[in-house]
Structure 1
Amino acid sequence: MHEGHLTRGAQAERTGAIVVFYHPDDACVARANRLAVKTRCVVIDNTPGQYAVAGLDPSVHYVPNGENVGVATALNQGVAALREMGCAHALLFDQDSEPQDQLIEQLPIVLAGLLARGECVALVAPAYDDARLGGVAPFVRFRPFSLKRVAASGTSPIDVDFVITSGSCIALDCWADVGPMDDALFIDFVDLEWCIRAKRAGYRLLGVPWITMAHELGGEPVRIFGRPYPMHSPLRHYYLFRNAVALFGRAYVPWSWKSTEMVKFPVRLMIYLFLPSERSQHLRMAFRGMWDGLCGRLGSFADLHGRQRGK
């Protein structure tokens, strides 16, 4: 037990957490403060016009952008801050993420152990538990026209092709090889695109099935033929369709993923047409996103079109 305690302490010194804020409430601040008790914590605040947050612990390294510069840029800022602090690992979280102590303490230990054995690993990630969508989600691998879903079970890390950002633990030594998150994507598919580049650079991505994190994917789900389907705002659907189309044109993105997304496109449009409220806005923003993706217009919707709709 003493040796394990030393291991946790050593990894805590080498690990930091990044949380991206956007109009945070008191619960978001409390979650960041709890993280700061366990590890170094960097908060990047994308709230427009905000340059201070009440109640944030002084130990938190707070970076207010004063505007929404996007998730990709915020994560890049956080990584830069942790690297300057000498950290080797970065835990990435959304502002509403609720990581348990097991994740905060054990994921960096799992990653460090793999690296110590000479494994070429870019990140490790927990299994995600969204009660609204049926519980613990499987890990995924790319296959033509569909995703292969691998049950999050067992006592060995599982090779995956993609994980969501929140809850993952990145080995910062790989940052120079893989490169930063793609600022131009702004939000949506930022994590996927980075994972693709990491694998292309020869790194493994591993799911850790015995560590879970409660995480809600998207807004309130709708039910389709009895199955829950995560929904987003019209603005998020703009980014989703735009960035998918933009990635279709990138040669390094595997055809297996492209084919799966092409299958999903008409299904998503039918869902937007018949199910959600504000269906016209969902469809309009989806088609605008596809057009901007085809035209190579990336970055913030507000910068491109002068206003935001459907937040």
Structure 2
Amino acid sequence: MTDHSVATVCAVIVSYHPEPAALSALVDALAAQVGAVVLVDNASSGDWQMRLGEAISGRGGAVLCQPCNRGLAGAQNIGIDWARAHGYRHVLLLDQDSMPGDGMVAALLAALQTLSASSRVAAVGPRFHDTREERHAPFVRLGFPLNRKLWCQSAGQTIACDFLISSGALMPIAVLDRVGPMDEGLFIDNVDLEWGFRARAQGYTLHGVCAATMHHCLGDARQALPLGLGQIVVHGPARLYYMMRNRIRLYRLSHTPRVWIAQDLPRVLVKLLLFGVLIGPRRRNLRCMFHGLWDGVRGRQGEAPAWLRETARSG
């Protein structure tokens, strides 16, 4: 295999109680674009793993079923380790609710090879489209008080950015060896943000590739705000816990840009207002968010406490 071939790419999908038909469609879409697919499942129920495992292993990949929920970061690291052990030079990270466009991986790999000739590239990512939005999402450069949103103007563009969502990100194994694995202490939220900040602090660059496209769903749902103020991505109470806890952890890391911290602090108050006053379940949301902030101050890592997960589910 040469570094220019998509056969050097192993797709790492993380699943958690997925819709089996959608996950199977994702695997089928990836099969022709990468050298292998490895699915890391976080203790989901059902018998779909065996059926899908046969299809994946027949194409040279694997389904790695975990006995407990290892979180997004832990599962990604397990998949990355599998890819490294089997000789792959690149990994493509994907969530279960993503779908690559035609030729996405080839476009990402071509851009990575071109950009690497003149800079140290940590990762490249596609422009993604949430079907509930009217247009593709922009790439982002950090700024104060507001970030700069950079939109693709042509398919030939690559856009230097300050972070990429993990789903759709293509990374060389050699870079992961130097930057380090995903932070398993974060468990789920801000994993991609932290790794990108760490890579940037080590002198690497991140780039969006306009020729590569992907469909991806952000959040659990969308909800309209009062007074015609638009829509907001809605997350469940447990997810709000991780969002609050993990941002406190990022504040303490030396490689987190100070400008990001400065602009994120007001977002804490905004989220408390939105999900504690305007968007239900308000009481559960507030309880989980405040416990997230407190656990962040205390330095708690890993999975949320069992009582909180049960509270988030049952109220």
What TM-score, normalized by structure 2, do the two folds share?
A: 0.90
Tell me the CA shift for residue 125 of structure 1: 0.5
Counterpart among 287, 294, 306 of residue 291 in structure 1: 294
Alpha-carbon offset, residue 307 of structure 1: 4.4
Could you tell me which amino acid in structure 1 is paired with residue 81 of structure 2?
Answer: A
Name the CA distance, whole Å, in 1 between partners of 2:194 and 2:278. Answer: 29
SS in 2 for 1:68: coil
Aligned mates of 1:175, 1:204 — CA distance in 2: 13
Is the deviation greater in 26-35 or in 85-94? Answer: 26-35
Q: 1:246 to 1:10 in 2, by over 3 A?
A: closer
1:209-288 matches, cutoff 5 A: 209-224=210-225, 225-288=228-291
* SS of alignment partner, residue 16 of structure 1: strand
Task: Measure how far apart 1:273 and its partner are.
Answer: 2.5
* Deviations 1:199-237, CA, capped at 9 Å, x for gaps: 111111001123221111112112233322111010000
Taking structure 1 as reference, are residues 135 and 308 closer, same or farther at Cα in structure 2, changes over 3 Å only? farther
Q: Which residue of 2 aligns with 1:161?
A: 162
Query: Which stretches in structure 2 are left out of the alignment for 5+ residues?
Result: none
Contact (CA 8 Å) 1:17, 1:92: kept in 2 or not? yes
* Aligned residue pairs, count: 303
* Residue identity in the other structure for 1:310: A
> In the alignment, is residue 206 of structure 1 matched against residue 207 of structure 2?
yes
Return the letter of the residue paired with 1:30.
A
Per the TM alignment, residue 95 of structure 1 is displaced from its structure 2 partner at its CA by 0.9
5 Å matches for 1:68-87?
68-87=69-88
> Do the aligned partners of 1:301 and 1:308 also contact (CA within 8 Å) in 2?
no
How big is the shift at 1:140?
Answer: 0.8
Question: Are the structure 2 counterparts of residues 146 and 10 from structure 1 closer, same or farther at C-alpha, using a change threshold of 3 Å?
Answer: closer
TM-fit CA distance, 1:55 = 2.2
Which residue is equivalent to 2:40?
A: 44
Is 1:188 the counterpart of 2:182? The answer is no
Cα pair 1:127 1:207 within 8 Å, conserved:
yes
**Does the CA-based 8 Å contact 1:51-1:66 persist in structure 2?**
no
- Post-superposition offset of 1:277: 2.5
Aligned to 1:18: 12
The residue type equivalent to 1:43 in the other structure is: L
Q: Describe the SS at the equivalent of 1:17.
A: strand
What's the secondary structure of 2:132's corresponding residue? helix
Q: Give the fraction of aligned pairs with identical amino acids, expressed as a percent.
A: 34
Shift of 1:10: 5.1
Are the aligned partners of 1:49 and 1:66 in contact in 2 as well (CA < 8 Å)? no
Tell me, yes or no, if the aligned pair for 1:222 and 1:275 is still in contact at 8 Å: no
The 5-angstrom pairing of residues 30-69 of structure 1 reads: 30-39=25-34, 40-48=36-44, 53-56=49-52, 57=55, 58=57, 59=59, 60-69=61-70
Q: C-alpha displacement at 1:44, in angstroms?
A: 0.4
- 1:146 aligned partner: 146
Evaluate the alpha carbon distance shift between residue 306 and residue 242 of structure 1 in structure 2; reply closer, same or farther with a 3 A threshold.
Answer: closer
